[in-house]
Structure 1
Amino acid sequence: MISEPLTSTSNSRVKAWTALLDAKGRKRSGQFLAEGVHMVKEALLCGASVGTIVYDAGRGMPAELEPLLRDSPAELVPASAAVMAKCTGTDSPPPVFAVVDKPSHDEAALHKPDALVVVLDAVRDPGNAGTIIRSADAAGADAVILGRGCVDLYNPKTVRSTMGSLFHLPVLEMDLAEALPKARERGMLLAGTSLQAARSCYECDFTGPVWLLFGNEAEGLSPQTLNQLDLGIIIPMKGRSESLNVAMAATVVLYEALRQREHAAGK
């Protein structure tokens, strides 16, 4: 269904969409924005609850999306360039964005017999959080957990940085003080990066059920989380760098886990 074009930035619907750029607006509505052709395409392909798709009337609906819209119940709304700029969080407004309901995920994926779960402890940069979700998806992780103190999962910058991986695997927001002890009770190995650790990630066994923990950009894992670890790990450094960016570190460890699991499975 195509609605009438929206041209005024003071329109009530435009104001509601603009509010989704703010965490309070997202919490109040239970919705978030997926900006750009790729993100909207992934949302549709993965069956996300897309209520409205807004596109630049002057540029038209992107051709890549048209085949996916034939069976979609989403409302299609053409809008002026001014409206597109008002509702999106980038310097150059995308040609399209979608209003998506926040998904609800159960915790089954966290406790699979061979679960590989990524846990973030107070990772505050949206680019880092989004990139880690993308790497977790690429490495075949079963889920990602964002602990308290992390950036809002549905921050537009975080969503864009996932490059669609947000729609590919469960991403849950949880209290680590409660989640970590329960995970250990279920037999999960809790392994986290620490500059004080003496165990190289290449010497660790990640073939069993494991939760991989990564901490804040400046301070690493919190003392409370460190106390919960079964295994502290470090990525060997051959040069003079003291540490890696948390997203890079997560990617290295995830791909070591993938390598080990592929080898154990004879692939």
Structure 2
Amino acid sequence: MAALRRLVAPLLRAQAGAPVGRRWVRALRRSPVRVLPSRKEREAAEPGRREPAELKRPQQGPAEQELRYEKAKPGDKRLGRVVTIAKSKKFRDQHGKILLEGPRLIKDALDAGAVLQTLFFSIVENLKKLPEEKLKKSTLVKVKFEDMKNWSDVIAPQGLIGIFSRPGHATMTYPPDQLRSLLPLYLICDNVRNPGNLGTMLRSAAGAGCSKVLLTKGCVDLWEPKVLRAGMGAHFRLPIIANLEWESLPNYLPPDTRVHVADNHDPRTQDEMEDVSGKASSYRWVSRPHNLKVQRSREDLAFDSESEEEEERRADEAWLPELDAQCYHESWTQGPAAVVIGGETHGLSMEALQLAESTGGNRLVIPVVPGVDSLNSAMAATILLFEGKRQLQLRKQEKSKRHKFPASG
């Protein structure tokens, strides 16, 4: 009560015109301050009460909460390596690295078990497009989008560029759906040098359910950026074995596989019927080895009146194996089957024809309208692979019906 009088007295004096002393000011300073309870205490006291919107803290996403990254500094040497890896096959081979761009391709690689070393990204939101657990062991570097545009090989960069250890087909894990859909069908690429064509062939092979793709020496690099883009993730959906010698190629096929070669010559065309017996002119995607010459002595040449063109024609007939021709929609999948597609520039090699002959394979003809040039090699591969898929699935259905409804004796 006495304390209350001491506080009220100065106010009464001030109303009467008396001056207020310093003691009143000190009293105001010593007045108790109300301390608000903490958020946890308020939630414990009133569990059902919701916090006002202005007091809520923005929740951080899992990528921001868990993943740690660094910001690239000007002149960071790692950034220059991106361009080097993308453009130099020699560098990729020496260091065993590949470059992948875009969330879809990077995710496919991570799901297949490929090892990510460094990931460059422009905004944190892009990290949420990838499996978080598989990013924790790699180096994450945030860069400016303008810089990424300078490094990217595409017109519209997707904000993610990853450097991976180059994976091998034996160490990758392929999607279960892909494994369940595999057929005894194989694609052999013979000297395919166009990256867009090779990537499209790989995509078609994955779509058709091929068990394996084999690339002979002379094909474009499997990990070239244009091949990767055209493949649309096919690199991580089925085994692809590159840089093979023809002598070792049969080791990657089942023992009873028949190897067929693609052709676009229609044997039923009347004006060219005489050329279907194995001559070079009847193979539209075949190249004769440059060093193939008829060895003749000077004496023979002196007394021989044959022209050089006739000599080469006879040489072609001598070295080309004779393969029967059939239309692509006729049956050619009695068992495991492989299709050889040659590059558009150099065509099929002699080794491809010899392998087809030794396995009892044929020339699979895709007829085109007279006067039209041969089909694009990637298009030819797509037609043959999906026709092979149709035939194999039809045989499987017929076999299943025979087991379910056996013929009565």
In structure 1, distance between residues paired with 2:376 and 2:252: 26
Distance 2:384 2:92 in 1: 32
Taking the aligned partners of 1:99 and 1:7, their CA distance within structure 2 comes to 18
Q: Which structure ranks higher in relative contact order (CA pairs < 8 Å, sequence separation ≥ 6)?
A: 1
- Residue of structure 1 in register with 2:225 after alignment: 156
CA RMSD of aligned residues (A): 2.6
Work out the CA distance in 1 between the residues paired with 2:252 and 2:99: 32
SS of 1:266's partner is: helix
1:172 aligns with 2:241: yes
Distance 1:17 1:35 in 2: 10
Percent identity (aligned): 30
Alpha-carbon separation, structure 2, partners of 1:241 and 1:64: 49
Unaligned runs of 5+ in 2: 1-66, 172-182, 265-281, 284-324, 399-409
Give the deviation of 1:244 after TM superposition.
1.0
Give SS of 1:25's match. Answer: helix
Could you tell me which residue of structure 2 aligns to residue 37 of structure 1? Answer: 103
Task: Select 1:231's aligned residue among 362, 366, 369.
Answer: 362
Where do residues 1-267 of structure 1 align in structure 2 (5 Å cutoff)? 1-8=67-74, 10-21=75-86, 22-57=88-123, 60-62=124-126, 65-66=129-130, 68-72=131-135, 73-106=137-170, 115-182=184-251, 186-195=255-264, 196=282, 198-229=325-356, 230-238=361-369, 240-266=371-397
Report Cα offsets for 1:19-65 as digits up to 9, x if no partner: 211111111221111111221121223222222221114xx332661
TM-score (norm. length: structure 2): 0.58
- 1:239 Cα deviation from its structure 2 partner: 6.2
Question: Aligned-pair distance for 1:175?
Answer: 2.6
Cα distance change of structure 1 residues 258 and 184 upon mapping to structure 2, 3 Å threshold:
closer
Judge which range, 216-225 or 156-165, deviates more: 216-225
Contact 2:256 2:335 in 1 (8 A): no
SS at match of 1:115: strand
Give, in whole Å, the separation in 2 of the partners of 1:123 and 1:129. Answer: 6
Describe the SS at the equivalent of 2:373. coil
State how far apart, in whole Å, the 1-side matches of 2:335 and 2:254 are.
Answer: 15
Greater strand fraction, Structure 1 or Structure 2 = 1
Report deviation, 1:86: 4.2
| Distance in 1 separating the partners of 2:247 and 2:254 | 11
Looking at CA atoms only, which structure, 1 or 2, has the larger radius of gyration?
Answer: 2
How many residues end up aligned between the 2 structures?
259
8 A contact 1:37–1:64 mirrored in 2: no
Partner Cα separation in structure 2 for residue 184 and residue 93 of structure 1: 39
Q: In 2, distance between residues paired with 1:184 and 1:43? A: 25
Contact 1:14 1:83 survives alignment (8 Å): no
**One-letter code of the match for 1:69?**
E
Query: Cα distance, 1:205 vs. partner?
Result: 1.7
Moved more, 98-107 or 18-27: 98-107
The residue type paired with residue 127 of structure 1 is G
> Any conservation in 1 of the 2:192–2:344 contact (CA below 8 Å)?
yes
SS of corresponding position for 1:191 = strand
2: distance between equivalents of 1:47 and 1:162? Answer: 18
The answer to whether the 8 Å contact 1:54/1:97 transfers is: yes
- On the 8 A contact 1:35/1:94 being kept in 2, the answer is yes
Instruction: Describe the shift of the 1:155–1:184 C-alpha distance in structure 2 as closer, same or farther (beyond 3 A).
Output: closer
Paired residues of 1:184 and 1:190 also in contact (CA < 8 A): no
Cα distance change on mapping 1:182 and 1:63 into 2, 3 Å: closer
Rounded to whole Å, the distance in 1 between the matches of 2:369 and 2:194 is 27
| Residue identity matched to 1:244 | L
SS in 2 for 1:190: strand
Amino acid in structure 2 at the alignment position of 1:218: T
Deviation at 1:181, TM superposition (A): 4.8
Structure 1: stretches of 5+ with no match in the other structure? 108-113
Take 2:115 and 2:367, find their aligned partners in 1: how far apart are those partners?
43
- Residue 134 of structure 1, CA deviation: 0.5
Supply the AA of the counterpart residue of 2:198. A
Q: Structure 1 residues 250 and 47 mapped into 2: Cα distance closer, same or farther (>3 Å)?
A: same
